[in-house]
Amino acid sequence: MLEKTLKYVIWLGLGIIAFVPVLMYGGFFFPFIFTKVLVFRVIIEIIFVLYLLLISININYKPRFTIIFFSFLTYIVLTFISSLLGSNFYLSFWGDIERSEGIMLLLHLFAFFTIISGFIRNKKEWLLYFDLAIIGSLVVSFFALGQKLNLNFVLNAGQGRLSSTIGNPAFLAGYLIFGVFFAVFLFFQRKNQWLKKYYILTAIFELYIIIQTATRGAFVGLIFSLILSIFLLVFFTKTNKKIKQAFLLLILILFLFGGFVYFNQNTSFVKNSEFLKRMSSISLNDRTTDTRLMTWSSAWQGIKNKPLFGWGYENFNLVFNKYFNPYIYEDPGSRIWFDRAHNVIFDRAVTGGIIGLLAYVFLIFYPAYFLFKKIIIKKNECFIISFFKKYFLRKKTGQNIDEERNNDSTDKITAIIFISLIFAYFIQDLFVFDVLVTYIPLVLILGFLSSYDKEFKFKILENKQFYKINFVILLILFLPIIYLVNIKPAEANMTIIKAMKAASSKDFENSYNLFLKALSYNTYGNQEYRIRFAEFVDTMIYKKDKTDAFRRKASLKINEELKKQILEMPNDVANYILLMRHYNRAYIYNINLLNNVIAVSKEAENLSPTRPHIYYERGYAQIYLGNYYSEKGEKGKASEFYKKGIKSFKQAISLNNQVEESYLNLILMLMVSHQTDEINNYLNKMDKLGIKYQKEKSLKRIASAAVATKEYDFAIEFYKKLTKICPDEPKYWIDLSLSYIYKGDKDKAIEIAKKVKSFGANYESQADEFIKKISDKNFKIK
């Protein structure tokens, strides 16, 4: 009775895991990721304990010790070693909230693999679990369809590329690749014609959703896997000659269609399809491709620096920062913080070294090798594996799935499907990275294919007592693990969301207390929570929300927290820039914070010397110090800081001379020190380089700075440009008129003021009053 109950509960848990990709709770920070990982971890922890109890009752359910099992275990051990030798073991082990990965997730995935490879013992049960996985992917796909149809009750409906409950188009496409192949696999396994129709319709539907995500990497992976599967079918199976010819014709049609789309990418036929537009835009000159290549170049530098064991799991950001390519940054909208290489080879090589990469590649491709050699061409295993089995392990007698395989053709098709799936998954992973929704089906196929491999026997692992002891140990640790790994992080996570919601509704006191409460849990999310806390405090200071005393108290508290941030992760330059930005906001309460910015910038420069934002923040601090001493009448000190500020902004330009932001910062600094010739020099440089700064936001910024620094010629020049770009905006005409009066050109000021009258309403009376004051010489000039 107990055994039956345990099996029922374990199946229930496995069933829930099949639907984890559907789950998303908006009350969590990073809800698309954290919700899924939280549920997955809790379910795995529960059923793994029950699984050990089941084995202690019935030893037949013990794990299958195969090459895949040992490959997975080896990969985790090597990851652990590389993380111990790396820069931040805490982050390597726990991961962060945004990705929710780390060694902790790998351990749960390995537990999932161990359970399914040992608990699911026959073909009927495997097909049932694949059915559950397909249903889960169908639910996700229907949510995506709801987005496509712009159904109001579906999250993110009508907002461009489909993301469904996954939250990201690339991750959705990666997940559905498995769904398509699972459906094709079951199509060949089931005999019922209605089920066959269901599977083929499912595959077509999910393929359609993949296309609608417009994810290039996934589509390239699918095309390659299709070509591979056709190649294997044509040359390694006894397929009808006409069918083989049809397959080869299909490949030819695909190539011809691809060429047609590429060479007609400027036609309306291509431009009107988001999918075709993205597929045809694949180019080395494409901005996304360019960014990827620069990121991979940084990764390569990191690999050369630590080739053997790498930098430690989850530490790609350290390499990216150290070897940051300044050409990644184009404007304030650029993505400049990468924690993944968006390429599985570079990711694994950077974080785990060449050894970790080889272990990962073996784990992924050994099943494909095994299927090809043992099923498709039916040759004996390689010498290395034979030697390993003969001298280190004892073969277990008896086979499970092997006994049920009696149809050579079906077996070969099964092998071709899963070989092609492995390659499709791997190729799409060359352009993105894994998350839980792709890990789950990957581990599922590893577990399934493990049942095709030979099993090895260890005496100690054949003993029920071994599993009873482990069950008792885990049962004792169960509640502490559940609390520390799941409940405590979840409470902190929900608290941070409440804090952010309170801030957006202007409930500042409550928000402040909730931020402190979230941090008090002291979980692995604290680094991300402090970033949000700092943004909250700095926004309050900038907008002058709440009372000055409250803002001052909040500023002092975040000072303290950001110092902890650096102590916890002293090698992450993002923490230093965050502290510098806060100091540049909070210096109104303590002018010495600006000197701290300069000191912190030197530490940041050592970690990431090519990041322009370090020099921006340093330059801002030097401007503020210059202004401070100027107001005190200490012109010499003011001039010294202005010169240093100019030097900082010039350093930023020297890193990448294509960035508008760097030039604008320098020009504003030159205005403060009234270096007219230099201002014109850099404006001309921007024109020559084709930097498009002559847009409203940039011109407004320069014109406002010109007025503030009494550079009225520049103010007039740029307000004139603004009136040409935005002729219907009365404010720019008013500012232009004021700039003329500040310069002393009353006639021109009156002429422009008359133009303001044409806007009617209150502007007419205000303009008349302004003109009268000028005429009567009653207008006070700044």
Positive or negative torsion for Cα 315, 318, 324, 328? positive
Is a pLDDT exceeding 60 seen at residue 118?
Answer: yes
In terms of Cβ atoms closer than 10 Å to its own Cβ (0-12, 13-18, 19+), residue 613 is buried
Compute CA distances 112 → 47, 182, 289, 462, 479, whole Å: 9, 19, 35, 20, 19
Read off the pLDDT band of 758 (50, 70, 90).
confident
pLDDT at 402: 45
pLDDT at 153: 73
Is a pLDDT exceeding 90 seen at residue 286?
Answer: no
| 44, containing H or E segment | helix 31-57
Nearest Cα to 523, choosing from 563, 483, 560, 559? Answer: 483
Read off the pLDDT band of 332 (50, 70, 90).
confident
pLDDT at 26: 92
Q: What is the largest CA-CA distance in the chain?
A: 109
Query: Across residues 54-61, what is the average pLDDT?
Result: 94
Question: Residues 6 or more apart from 455 whose CB is under 8 A from it?
Answer: 64, 65, 66, 395, 396
- Average pLDDT of the chain, as a whole number: 89
Amino acid at 447: G
User: Rounded CA gap, 175 and 436, in Å?
Assistant: 9
Query: What one-character-per-residue DSSP string does 607-636 give?
Result: H-TT-HHHHHHHHHHHHHHHHHHHHTT-HH
User: Could you name the CATH architecture of 709-782?
Assistant: Alpha Horseshoe (1.25)
Read off the pLDDT band of 740 (50, 70, 90).
confident
Nearest Cα to 7, choosing from 134, 121, 107? Answer: 121
Report whether 511 contacts 537 (CB < 8 A).
no
User: Rounded CA gap, 710 and 575, in Å?
Assistant: 37
Report whether 437 contacts 177 (CB < 8 A).
no
Q: What is the DSSP letter of 64?
A: P
Compute CA distances 462 → 61, 396, 469, whole Å: 11, 11, 13
CB atoms within 10 A of CB 524: 20
What's the whole-model pTM score?
A: 0.90
Question: Residues 6 or more apart from 105 whose CB is under 8 A from it?
Answer: 37, 41, 95, 436, 439
Is a pLDDT exceeding 50 seen at residue 198?
Answer: yes
Compute CA distances 726 → 686, 716, 730, whole Å: 22, 15, 9
Is a pLDDT exceeding 80 seen at residue 604?
Answer: yes
Question: Residues 6 or more apart from 214 whose CB is under 8 A from it?
Answer: 161, 169, 274, 275, 277, 278, 279
Q: What b/e string do you get for 335-353 counting C-beta neighbours within 10 Å, with b at 16 or more?
A: ebebbbbbbbbbbbbbbbb
In terms of Cβ atoms closer than 10 Å to its own Cβ (0-12, 13-18, 19+), residue 648 is buried
User: Rounded CA gap, 564 and 424, in Å?
Assistant: 44
Question: Where in 234-332 does DSSP place strands (E)?
Answer: none
Q: Which of 155-169, 230-244, 497-511 has the highest mean pLDDT?
A: 497-511
Question: Residues 6 or more apart from 749 whose CB is under 8 A from it?
Answer: 737, 738, 740, 741, 774
In 19-149, which ranges are continuous DSSP H helix?
Answer: 31-57, 67-84, 89-94, 102-119, 123-148
492-708 and 709-782 share one CATH topology?
yes
User: Rounded CA gap, 318 and 524, in Å?
Assistant: 18
Query: Across residues 80-95, what is the average pLDDT?
Result: 96
Read off the pLDDT band of 391 (50, 70, 90).
very low
Q: Which of 90-99, 226-235, 366-375 has the highest mean pLDDT?
A: 90-99
457: three-class secondary structure by DSSP: strand
Percent of the chain with pLDDT over 90: 68
| 456, containing H or E segment | strand 456-457
Question: Where in 650-774 does DSSP place strands (E)?
Answer: none
Query: Across residues 384-397, what is the average pLDDT?
Result: 46
In terms of Cβ atoms closer than 10 Å to its own Cβ (0-12, 13-18, 19+), residue 392 is exposed
395: three-class secondary structure by DSSP: strand
Q: What are the tens digits of pLDDT across the range 246-283?
A: 667 777 776 676 666 666 666 666 666 666 666 656 66
- Higher per-residue pLDDT: 453 or 604: 604
Report whether 179 contacts 444 (CB < 8 A).
no
CB atoms within 10 A of CB 781: 8
Domain range annotation of the chain: 2-462, 492-708, 709-782
Nearest Cα to 349, choosing from 309, 322, 315? Answer: 309
Q: What are the tens digits of pLDDT across the range 761-770?
A: 677 777 777 7
User: Rounded CA gap, 712 and 737, in Å?
Assistant: 11
End-to-end Cα, the chain, rounded Å? 91
Question: Residues 6 or more apart from 238 whose CB is under 8 A from it?
Answer: 409
Query: Across residues 179-183, what is the average pLDDT?
Result: 97
Report whether 57 contacts 468 (CB < 8 A).
no
Read off the pLDDT band of 396 (50, 70, 90).
very low
Read off the pLDDT band of 457 (50, 70, 90).
confident
Q: What's CA 151's distance to the chain center, in Å?
A: 27
Paired strand residues for 394: 457
Read off the pLDDT band of 325 (50, 70, 90).
very high
pLDDT at 734: 86
Report whether 551 contacts 545 (CB < 8 A).
yes
Is a pLDDT exceeding 90 seen at residue 58?
Answer: yes
Compute CA distances 234 → 215, 249, 421, whole Å: 29, 12, 18
In 155-215, which ranges are continuous DSSP H helix?
Answer: 169-189, 193-213
CB atoms within 10 A of CB 456: 19
pLDDT at 387: 43
Q: What are the tens digits of pLDDT across the range 707-739?
A: 988 898 999 999 999 989 988 888 888 888 888
Paired strand residues for 395: 456
User: Rounded CA gap, 157 and 178, in Å?
Assistant: 24
Of 341-355, 379-393, 640-654, the one with minimum mean pLDDT is 379-393
Query: Across residues 478-488, what is the average pLDDT?
Result: 97
The number of CA neighbours under 13 Å toward the Cβ of 134 is 24
pLDDT at 605: 96
pLDDT at 398: 42
| 394, containing H or E segment | strand 394-395
Residue with tokens 């990962």: 360
Residue with tokens 């608290």: 495
Q: What is the DSSP letter of 306?
A: S
236: three-class secondary structure by DSSP: helix
HEC per residue, 403-422: HHCCCHHHHHHHHHHHHHHH
- Written out in words, the top-level CATH class of the domain with range 492-708 is mainly alpha
Report whether 13 contacts 47 (CB < 8 A).
yes
598: three-class secondary structure by DSSP: helix
Nearest Cα to 279, choosing from 292, 293, 260, 296? Answer: 260
- Per-residue tokens: 554: 């909040």
